[in-house]
Amino acid sequence: MKVLVPYIKKYRWDVIWSILAIFVVAFATLWQPHLLQVIMNAIMKNDKQTVWTNGLYLIGLAIIGIVGGIINTIYSARVALGVATDLRADEYAKIQSLAYADIEKFSSSNLVVRMTNDINQVQQIVMGFFQQVTRIPILFIGAVILAIVTLPELWWVIAVMMALLLGVSLFSFSRMGKYFGRMQQLIEKVNTLARENLMGMRVVKSFVQGANQTKNFAESSDEMRDVSVKIGNLFALLMPAFFLIANLAIALSIWLIGQNITSHPSNLAAITSFINYLMQILFAIINESFMLTFASRALVSLRRIHEVMATKPSMTFVSGPHRDLDGAVEFDDVTFTYPGDDKPTIRDIGFAVKPGEMIGIVGATGSGKTTLAQLIPRLFDPDTGIVKVGGHDVRAVTEADLRQTVGFVLQRSTLFSGTIAENLQQGHPNADLASMKWAAQIAQSAEFIERLPHTYHAEVEERSSNFSGGQKQRLSITRGVIGQPKILILDDATSALDARSEKLVQEALAHELKNTTTIIIAEKISSIIKADRILVLDDGRLVGSGTHLELVRHNDVYREIYATQKALEEGV
Amino acid sequence: MKDLKNAGKFYAHYLRPYWLEFLITTILIAISTWAIAVAPTYMGRAIEELTVYVQQWANPATRAQASFTAFNHTLAIFVLLYLIDASSILISSLLLSKVSGYSTGTMRVGLFRKMQRMKVQYFDSHSDGDILSRFTSDLDNIFNAMNQALIEIFLSGAQFIGIIWMMFTQNATLAWITMASTPVAIGLAAFVMHQASVSVDRQQDDIGRLNGYINEQITGQKMLITNGLQQESVAGFQTYNAAVRKSNLRGQIWSGILNPLLMGLSLLNTAIVIFAGSWLALNGSLSQGAALALVVVFVNYAQQYYQPIVQLTSLFNMIQLAITGARRITEVREQPDEVDPKNGRTLDGLKHELVIDNVHFSYVPGKEILHGVTIHVEKGEMVALVGPTGSGKTTVMNLMNRFYDVDSGSITFDGVDVRDFKLASLRQNVGIVLQDPQLFSGTIRDNIRFGDPEADQNRVEAAAKQANIHDFIMSLPDGYDTFVSDEQSVFSAGQKQLMSIARTILTDPRLLILDEATSNVDTVTEAKIQAAMDNVIQGRTSFVIAHRLKTILNADKIVVLRDGKIIEEGNHEQLLAQNGFYAELYHNQMVFE
């Protein structure tokens, strides 16, 4: 809850208006019985004048109530949305300040949920708080006090009633808690079954297993149904029990008053209002328990948001003046373990690359190629050892310098919705048309971009679904080279390109970016066959380094990979 | 309105079996409404009797007669009435809880069963998330509405009718006056709710855009970090966030206003009733005492009169979601089922040949994918399909075990059209290994014997051995009992693929269709999978959809598809000699020194 205080403070005037309005509404509600009393008396005295004036007061009061309610709603909504919007903006900024490892730890889909559903929960509870919660305690406390003032000797009836109400709620909710846990498991199970069958529909159909799967599903679904009925039954108990308790308390009060009526005849007149107060206490408790279940969900959300906000970035960059770095890359005995893993993914890696070299990295899936490459732009820091760029430990380089020096084209090309130009400018903020064209020529994307109706201003749809896999990769490469980085890493970035385009890209890179160090990670040996040097990874270790011919001759791991890709006919 | 009618049909269908429960609930609620309506009069009588007692007691002459008997008796009836009320409500709530649990259970299983019967086309043309949300959020919404709204509708309905009835028995004029403002209230409520739903729609659009942005950016976080774009990303976020704030504010205000508005109207109505009542009292024909009593009673009614309306409007959102849910589930229920021929023939292996004869096919009418494809496959042959993405390779596979049916032309097993076989029999004969090896949560054993849950350990192991995965399974601490879940799997893509091959081997299909894995598998792993596939292919007629040519060099026949037409056909050497499309593909993929 503390998280919210500074956010709410920012809207203190809206808060004040909203609370003032709720007081006006409460006043209108409380004053109305009094006016009624006056009118009744006036009718008995045949006093037309008083009836009319107080009748008009009553109408005025109703209108004040409506206006107060509307004002309260408007200002509550302003507070709720202000808080939600600011909280969301801060959370987003916080996420953007985190290191990649921190984001991985949360997982991106989980972060999206925290930014959307959780914030929405908080918004609802803030809205509810200023519309409802402030009013209920006032009414509750007021009703208890007035009830005791009315018939002080019956204080224990109120106490017993409240204890019983509490007991019933505790009984139901504690029993429910047990079932809710089981329910959650069953929901997950049922959803998993549905999802699996959905994704594997072709498998289920081709193995003719529809009937069996339905039987499995029905078993879980039936159990879910039974648990949900049990929960429903506990809920069903609540309302009748509440009202029964309250009404028994009323009957008991009347009976008790009857026993002493001869010594306290005035109690007769007090009974009606006492009963009214008992009912008000009941309603306050019902409303409050609804608000509490609601609030408990919001508290879970708030805790999840707080977790994000409280995360300290696990990686920080030094600040300092701009330095020009060259394209040298060096790994000095580097070992790296992913957060949460017990085994290092790469270990004891050491090599050095001179500016302008072209390096290939090969190895089986899971051998650590991408992991190694990710240490260069400092997506992660190694456990031990040093990664150097331009001769400096990456941990001693400013973020701006590192981003300017290292270009990284990802395995899964990520384009954002917007125009092609906007996407390319992500690689170089002020890129003009000329430099876009230059980069597109290198990446072999110019040919299809310039055929689009809006060329560089063509729209990229969500998930870039209007481009083919090969086109996406070529656009990513364009974005990667447009900033003319000193070091360009292509992480399996040409897998969807045909051999001819791939060759053209590599030739253009060699020609246009002579001084750029190129590091190419590839599944296909044909992609890196011309590299100055090829690094062979196996199970996280560097097991070979050399040109294609050297490796074919001396390296078993490389030879095995090569054997699976070699043409039958040598040199056709 | 159409939605409402369809939703009515939908719920009528699922709720009909529970007519007895509904009948009992209706009766019980009527009883409880009666009890609640009558109980206050007993309270009044008890107080009256107490007054009489006090008066008799105060007078020495009658003190001896003063007795609590009548008072106690009345109070007992009062308690009894509330016991009746509480137990009626309890029983009807229990009944309705059962009804909502059971009817949504039936919907859920029915939806699943329907899913198993539907054409593959539906799954290909709808996103998984969309279909899945019908199981999750739509059924959830329906359940919530049934669970919470059903009893409220009953109670509020009964209360509403009860109040009107009580009012008319007391005084018709005042009853009409109390009800006079109803159209205004309902009109105002409808207006506000309409405004709210319009703003909520707009708000949902803005929220959708914001969520889309967040999702896209955070999913692409690696790219943002490596390009140093975090600040720009935050700047872009502000625009979407501000738009949501603006439209959300409208939505929140309109939907928040309804309750205070109706409460205020109820108060206003009370004032009107007081005016009218006191006018009657002062100018009317009634005696002052009777008029006063009427005013008191009607002030109570006027305050209660709006309660059911307020209750029902607060359920409005819930009910609307339930209506939408009904529509979305009905959409699925109305999808056509797969066509299983009546008196279909049983397929018992392939004796001579499989013929794909001049097949034309389109997924979307007017957009033909296959333009007259003809392939002959002799028994025992291995045929490879090769071609670029979108050439129609996978489509050919889809037709053989009738995931889809041809537009024209035919596919025949020994001269019999596939559409004349029983669907189950056809599919039992045609085994497929898919690109994406979908496994199911359960043990490894369960997964391997997926196609035949009765298979014993020997058969499971034999299949695993043929698929070259037995040794790996035995190296796991739990062996064949190791739990597989597709979500967070400890198995690599290659291992999963091998398990899916074992799964197919176990069913011993006559005809095999192998769709090769394209990605996530390096070429060394691929060679291992290839070895397992070779084991399966032996002695069987098979189709291989190849993405990497290395695996099909030994095929009896290679068919090259491009844009839905066969452009080349022959074995590896022949095609290489033609120096056409296949030869180019081959040069692209292979390494030549």
- Out of B115, B231, B592, name the one closest to residue A567 (CB): B592
CA pair distance B588, B576, nearest whole angstrom: 13
CA pair distance A29, B1, nearest whole angstrom: 38
pLDDT in tens, B247-261: 888 888 888 888 888
Summarize the confidence of residues B328-350 as an average pLDDT: 85
Residue-level pLDDT at A122: 85
Which residues from chain B sit within 8 angstroms of residue A400, using beta carbons? 228
Residue A571 has pLDDT above 50, yes or no: no
pLDDT in tens, A39-64: 767 776 777 788 788 888 888 888 88
From the list A1, A241, A249, the residue with the least C-alpha distance to A129 is A1
Segment 368-387 of chain A within 8 Å of chain B by CB: 377, 379
Residue A104 has pLDDT above 80, yes or no: no
Q: CB distance B75–A255 less than 8 Å?
A: yes
Residue-level pLDDT at B288: 63
Residue B27 has pLDDT above 90, yes or no: yes
Summarize the confidence of residues B82-109 as an average pLDDT: 91
Q: CB distance A416–B217 less than 8 Å?
A: yes
Tokens of B547: 């993405």
The distance of B261 to chain A (nearest Cα, Å) reads 6
Which residues from chain B sit within 8 angstroms of residue A62, using beta carbons? 264-265, 267-268, 270-271
- Using DSSP's 3-state secondary structure scheme, residue B355 falls into strand
Ordered domains of chain B (ranges, CATH): 1-117 (no CATH), 159-335 (1.20.1560.10), 353-589 (3.40.50.300)
- Using DSSP's 3-state secondary structure scheme, residue A365 falls into coil
The distance of B196 to chain A (nearest Cα, Å) reads 13
Residues 6+ apart with CB under 8 A from A534: A359, A360, A361, A362, A528, A544, A545, A546, A547, A548, A551, A558
Tell me the Cα Rg of chain A: 36
- Out of B212, B260, B441, name the one closest to residue A25 (CB): B260
Structural contact between residues B210 and A405, judged by C-beta atoms closer than 8 angstroms? no
Segment 220-249 of chain A within 8 Å of chain B by CB: 221-222, 224-226, 228-229, 232-233, 235-237, 239-241, 243-244, 247-248
pLDDT in tens, B435-457: 777 788 888 898 898 888 888 89
Structural contact between residues A172 and A237, judged by C-beta atoms closer than 8 angstroms? yes
Residue B71 has pLDDT above 90, yes or no: no
Q: CB distance A565–B523 less than 8 Å?
A: yes
Q: What is the DSSP letter of B416?
A: E
Residues 6+ apart with CB under 8 A from B454: none
Q: Chain B within 8 Å of A96 (Cβ-Cβ)?
A: yes
Residue-level pLDDT at B24: 94
Ordered domains of chain A (ranges, CATH): 1-130 (1.20.1560.10), 329-563 (3.40.50.300)
Tokens of B500: 């899916």
Q: Chain B within 8 Å of A418 (Cβ-Cβ)?
A: no
Segment 178-197 of chain A within 8 Å of chain B by CB: 187, 190-197
The distance of B387 to chain A (nearest Cα, Å) reads 13
Q: CB distance A248–B123 less than 8 Å?
A: no
**Region of residue B364 (phi > 0: left; psi between -120 and 50: alpha; otherwise: beta):** beta
Question: Which of B135, B138, B177 to mutate: most A Cβ within 10 Å?
Answer: B135
Which residues from chain B sit within 8 angstroms of residue A7, using beta carbons? none
Q: CB distance A194–B132 less than 8 Å?
A: yes
The distance of A145 to chain B (nearest Cα, Å) reads 24
Least confident among A289-298, B255-264, B455-464, B559-568: A289-298
Q: Chain B within 8 Å of A171 (Cβ-Cβ)?
A: no
Average pLDDT, chain A: 81
Residue B280 has pLDDT above 60, yes or no: yes
Residue-level pLDDT at B1: 66
Residue B83 has pLDDT above 90, yes or no: yes
Which residues from chain B sit within 8 angstroms of residue A460, using beta carbons? none
Segment 442-471 of chain A within 8 Å of chain B by CB: 462, 468-469
Q: CB distance A232–B101 less than 8 Å?
A: yes
Residue-level pLDDT at B87: 93
CA atoms within 13 A on the CB side of B111: 31
CA pair distance A363, A448, nearest whole angstrom: 32
Structural contact between residues A339 and A360, judged by C-beta atoms closer than 8 angstroms? no
Which residues from chain B sit within 8 angstroms of residue A366, using beta carbons? 492
Residue-level pLDDT at B160: 86
Which residues from chain A sit within 8 angstroms of residue B485, using beta carbons? 192
Structural contact between residues B494 and A364, judged by C-beta atoms closer than 8 angstroms? no
The distance of B371 to chain A (nearest Cα, Å) reads 23
Residue-level pLDDT at A174: 82
Q: Closest residue of A to B440, CA-based?
A: A196
Which residues from chain B sit within 8 angstroms of residue A523, using beta carbons? 522-523
CA pair distance B292, B171, nearest whole angstrom: 13
The distance of B376 to chain A (nearest Cα, Å) reads 22
Residue A459 has pLDDT above 90, yes or no: no
The distance of B324 to chain A (nearest Cα, Å) reads 20
Give all strands of the β-sheet with B511-515 in edge-to-edge order: B430-433, B511-515, B541-545, B382-386, B557-562, B565-570
Q: CB distance B50–A96 less than 8 Å?
A: no
pLDDT in tens, A267-323: 666 776 677 778 778 887 887 777 777 777 778 788 888 888 888 888 888 888 888
pLDDT in tens, A86-102: 888 888 888 888 888 88
Burial class (CB in 10 A: 0-12, 13-18, 19+), B475: exposed
Residue-level pLDDT at A460: 76
pLDDT in tens, A544-567: 888 887 887 888 888 887 777 776
Neighbouring C-beta atoms of residue A211, cutoff 10 Å: 10
Which residues from chain A sit within 8 angstroms of residue B227, using beta carbons? 403, 408, 426-427, 479
The distance of A198 to chain B (nearest Cα, Å) reads 7
Q: CB distance A199–B242 less than 8 Å?
A: no
Tokens of B593: 């020194």
The distance of A215 to chain B (nearest Cα, Å) reads 9
Residue-level pLDDT at B80: 93
Which residues from chain B sit within 8 angstroms of residue A414, using beta carbons? 219-220, 222-223
Q: Closest residue of B to A271, CA-based?
A: B47
pLDDT in tens, B34-50: 888 778 778 777 877 87
Residues 6+ apart with CB under 8 A from A561: A362, A363, A364, A525, B522, B523, B524
Segment 128-167 of chain A within 8 Å of chain B by CB: 131
Highest-pLDDT range among A477-481, B189-193, B410-414: B410-414
Summarize the confidence of residues B521-534 as an average pLDDT: 76
The distance of A253 to chain B (nearest Cα, Å) reads 11
From the list A139, A128, A134, A123, the residue with the least C-alpha distance to A16 is A134
- Out of B97, B440, B503, name the one closest to residue A196 (CB): B440
With the C-alpha atoms ordered B266, B268, B273, B278, is the resulting torsion angle positive or negative?
positive
Element (H, E) at A87: helix A48-97
Residue-level pLDDT at A572: 38
From the list B84, B81, B85, B88, the residue with the least C-alpha distance to B45 is B81
Q: Closest residue of A to B227, CA-based?
A: A403
Q: CB distance B268–A59 less than 8 Å?
A: yes
pLDDT in tens, A209-228: 888 888 888 998 899 999 98
Q: Chain B within 8 Å of A115 (Cβ-Cβ)?
A: yes
CA pair distance B231, B380, nearest whole angstrom: 62
Q: CB distance B228–A400 less than 8 Å?
A: yes
Burial class (CB in 10 A: 0-12, 13-18, 19+), B415: exposed
Q: CB distance B268–A271 less than 8 Å?
A: no
Structural contact between residues B434 and A203, judged by C-beta atoms closer than 8 angstroms? yes
Which residues from chain B sit within 8 angstroms of residue A85, using beta carbons? 241-242, 244-245
Beta bridge partner(s), residue B345? B421
Residues 6+ apart with CB under 8 A from B361: B368, B369, B370, B395, B399, B404, B406, B407
pLDDT in tens, A158-201: 889 889 988 888 888 888 878 877 887 888 888 888 888 887 78
Least confident among A26-35, B90-99, B323-332: A26-35
pLDDT in tens, A512-556: 877 888 888 887 787 787 888 888 888 888 888 888 878 878 888
The distance of A531 to chain B (nearest Cα, Å) reads 14
User: Integer distance in angstroms from the first to the last C-alpha of chain B?
Assistant: 72
Summarize the confidence of residues B137-154 as an average pLDDT: 82
Structural contact between residues B582 and B558, judged by C-beta atoms closer than 8 angstroms? yes
pLDDT in tens, A346-372: 888 888 888 888 888 888 777 888 888
Q: Chain B within 8 Å of A38 (Cβ-Cβ)?
A: no
Rounded percentage of chain A residues whose pLDDT exceeds 90:
2
**Region of residue B548 (phi > 0: left; psi between -120 and 50: alpha; otherwise: beta):** beta
Q: CB distance B115–A416 less than 8 Å?
A: no
CA pair distance A554, A557, nearest whole angstrom: 9
